[in-house]
Amino acid sequence: MRTEIRSVIDFFERHPISREIILTKLKASRGHLDHVSPEELFPHDQDHYGGPDANDALAARAGIGKGTRVADFCAGLGGPARYLAYRYGADVTGIELTPARVKGAEELTRLVGLQDNVRVIEGNVMQVPLPDSSVDAVISQEALLHVPDKGRTLAEAYRILKPGGRIAFTDWVAHRPLSEVDKGLMWEGMAVADLYSLENYSELVRTAGFTVSSVEDLTADWGVILKQRLPMYRRLREEARSAGHDAFYESYVRLVELVNAAVLGGGRISGEKPR
């Protein structure tokens, strides 16, 4: 498992969307980086499928509102955490494995003045550095695919949630088994640990102790979104190559094909910890 964790860190340290790229785009759009509002950052820092609308969907299913204490598993550069704090008045703690992204998240959060409501801390979602029964909601977006032990991660979500607390997350799902070639490409390019069918994923959530509230197949929507994002990654390809990470682009192109062929797809699952 140590090798898998190191590979995930390596992947995100070389990811083509970085703090530097976000700040470059932001500066190009407004000319400087003085007095940036959260709303000005949102077009650049929401690195997940569906953007702000996906955040709103998770907020609805997790019951997030003013004062809700939220844990964001695999928080990355903190885009969703800042969005939930600003739009909903939530208090958000992100858990992120990669030190460079923790540092980037802190800088971006301070840039828009949300440091009192958002913090992204370095940690492993298989051993979350938060106390038992300390949060009202747990969210995650397209990230648990990188986690070697999803059952352990869901058990950690259950542990830190208060009774009646809710979990809502999106992730890749496998409608059909991948070929060995595609498995290798997804591991090399995107550090994909393993994938479940939507049904098996739902059962994993139940096994962790949750009552499953909703299970949604997002494959058709993701097929469109992934195609739309492809030109962006094509533009970033040269930067990825210079970082020695061209496999990311190759795996992304293949992902678009697999999702549109309904071999892979996406799912959104929500559940509740019994009172």
Residues listed for the chain:
275
Read off the pLDDT of each residue in 190-218 and give the average, rounded to a whole number: 96
Helix (H, G, I), strand (E, B) or coil at 99: helix
pLDDT score, position 241: 52
Starting at the edge strand that comes first in sequence, how are the strands of the sheet with 69-73 ordered? 118-122, 91-96, 69-73, 135-141, 161-174, 264-272, 211-217
pLDDT score, position 244: 46
Of the CA atoms within 13 Å of residue 228, those in its CB half-sphere come to: 9
Instruction: List, for residues 173-187, the tens digit of each pLDDT value.
Output: 999 999 999 999 999
* Cα 218 from Cα 170, distance rounded (Å): 9
- Report residue 16: phi and psi, to 5°: -70, -15
8 Å CB contact between 5 and 148: yes
Asked whether the predicted pLDDT for residue 22 surpasses 70, the reply is: yes
pLDDT score, position 3: 56
Instruction: List, for residues 32-81, the tens digit of each pLDDT value.
Output: 999 999 999 999 999 889 999 999 999 999 999 999 999 999 999 999 99
Listed residue (64, 38, 18) closest to 169, CA to CA: 64
Q: Read off the DSSP letter of residue 13.
A: H
Region of poorest pLDDT, from 31-40, 107-116, 222-231: 222-231
Instruction: List, for residues 71-108, the tens digit of each pLDDT value.
Output: 999 999 999 999 999 999 999 999 999 999 999 999 99
Asked whether the predicted pLDDT for residue 235 surpasses 90, the reply is: no
pLDDT score, position 243: 47
pLDDT score, position 230: 85
pLDDT score, position 234: 75
Read off the pLDDT of each residue in 229-252 and give the average, rounded to a whole number: 69
- Domains of the chain in sequence order: 2-272 (3.40.50.150)
